[in-house]
Amino acid sequence: MSAQKLPAPMARPALVAEDPQIAALVEAEEARQREKIRLIPSENYVSRAVLEATGTVLTNKYSEGYAGKRYYEGQQIIDQVETIAIDRAKSLFGVDHANVQPYSGSPANLAVYLAFLNPGDKVMGMALPSGGHLTHGWGVSATGKWFTPVRYGVRAETGRVDMDEVREIALAERPKLIFCGGTAIPRTIDFEAFASIAAEIDAVLVADIAHIAGLVAGGAHPTPVGHAAVISTTTHKTLRGPRGAMLMSTEEHAAALDKAVFPGLQGGPHNHTTAAIAVALREAAAPEFKDYAAKIVSNAATLAGALTERGFDLVSGGTDNHLILIDLTNKGIAGKPMAKALDRAGLVVNYNTVPDDPRKPFDPSGIRIGTPAVTTRGMGTAEMTAIAGWFDRVVTAANSGDEADLDQIGKEVKELTAGFPVPA
């Protein structure tokens, strides 16, 4: 997905004519994504091909069921689209089975619960403040209300998962399902160690690779295949596809997962999204995607090093993947005001809890940043260093109330982004 050979922006004459208000907002969002540096690790830019597939007449067709076993007629084309997406997922990740119908990551994880658990059964996952996900059994989620959550975290002194501690908790609690992975984990996930623990207590291991799927596909992170019986992922983030999800598994669990997705949790799949997933998977199988995945990781390492040099406290001391979690306590500013100051300066992040955070989730101590989107735009070492410098200036400006410098940084950011066109 070259940033140098780009077609003209997509025209929307019908939308402009029918609903100029929404058309104007779409155009404004295009400008925002073009002019700012997007550092939220769960966001990216899709290719023009993925974008075009998402906006096709496939959205007009209802397709409850699976290929060859639908509840509506007229599936001759849709069956082919879904089968192609499935085959590409199986080939790219090397799995026995793939389901491309889940609407997003959370419904995909709910389908896993439906496939393997009864209400009240124990599920083990990383605690949300430590980097886990809501759907891994956190209290405010249905998964924490309808099932009995068992949680593990990270060591305060290292910011990393202690697998001996995970094993002790698992042996004591005997959960039926174990999730590994999460939403704010800057280090490599030890799938083999998790698999050994799950086997010891006869639990099903689920690898949630929503954040790192593109890195796994590109060979920049170890694969859970061969270790986890079930793999859940979104199709955007580092995989650079549309907003959707997939479930993958060994053949043993294929039928249970398919039944849980449909008819267990949802009706007809979003066929336009399925087509876009197929396109993204084809792109991820190309040799240049491996270069992209490796560049994401190297950019993150460069950015982490430059931030550390400027006195930022990185959870776990750095990163192995696309994601950096920063504890701002030593900078005298909380995550939320820092995120808002950064946004004004043209640097888009999200505020985030850090391990053992004494502050509330809506006003936490940290921010979470990542490099998928900036890497898609072609940014590299020099730009990562510049970003770290701007972070340092934003802290000073935010703490002193220097709004003029925030605006000045915003101008500098806009000048930089002008040299890195947005795909599609």
Catalytic residue among 36, 122, 237, 331: 237
Q: Which of 34, 48, 90, 243 is labelled catalytic?
A: 243
* Number of residues assigned to the chain: 424
Please give the distance of CA 343 from its chain centroid, rounded to a whole number.
Answer: 20
Name 107's Cβ contacts closer than 8 Å, sequence gap at least 6: 245, 261, 265, 266
Count Cα neighbours of 241 within 13 Å in the Cβ-side half-sphere.
32
User: Judging by DSSP bridges, how do beta strands 65-66 and 69-70 pair with one another?
Assistant: antiparallel
The two beta strands, 323-327 and 204-208, are unpaired
Q: Quickly count: other Cβ atoms within 10 Å of residue 34's Cβ.
A: 17
Interior CA angle at 208 toward 202 and 213, to 5°?
Answer: 135
Active site annotation includes 64: yes
* Residue of 34, 62, 148, 310 marked active site: 62
Looking at 30, 43, 52, 64, which residue is catalytic? Answer: 64
Give the dihedral sign, CA 309/313/315/316. Answer: positive
In order, the DSSP letters of 38-84 are E--TT-----HHHHHHHTSGGGG----EETTEESSS--HHHHHHHHH
Single out the catalytic residue among 234, 235, 273, 375: 234
Q: Is residue 243 annotated as a catalytic residue, yes or no?
A: yes
By annotation, the residues acting in catalysis are: 62, 64, 208, 234, 237, 243
